């Protein structure tokens, strides 16, 4: 995917990757999916203390309005 706005969500899942729920989200708004994915390993390591058998990182596309709101509350 090309340029845009992305947030990195961490999902906690049951065995086999079923029944996932968002358990965290990075405050950073990324300008590309590649930049977002580059942070996914570090985010998963930080989330490894969570009591889920499987953790997933997911870069989600957001609108410019959502990205601006997220930046305003983070800073």
Q: Judge residue 21's burial from the number of C-beta atoms within 10 Å of its C-beta, 0-12 exposed, 13-18 middle, 19 or more buried.
A: exposed
Distance, CA of 54 to CA of 26 (rounded, Å): 18
Domain positions in the chain:
3-74
Distance, CA of 27 to CA of 14 (rounded, Å): 25
What is the value of pTM for the model shown? Answer: 0.78
Tens of pLDDT, residues 20-75:
999 998 888 999 999 999 999 999 999 999 999 999 999 999 877 766 666 666 55
């Amino acid at each position: 995917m090309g340029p845009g706005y992305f947030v990195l969500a961490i999902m906690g899942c049951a065995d086999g990757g079923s029944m996932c729920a968002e358990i965290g989200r990075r405050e950073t708004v990324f300008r590309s999916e590649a930049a977002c994915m580059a942070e996914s390993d570090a985010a998963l390591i930080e989330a490894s203390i969570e009591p889920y058998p499987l953790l997933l990182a997911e870069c989600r596309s957001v609108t410019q309005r959502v990205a601006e709101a997220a930046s305003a509350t983070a800073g």
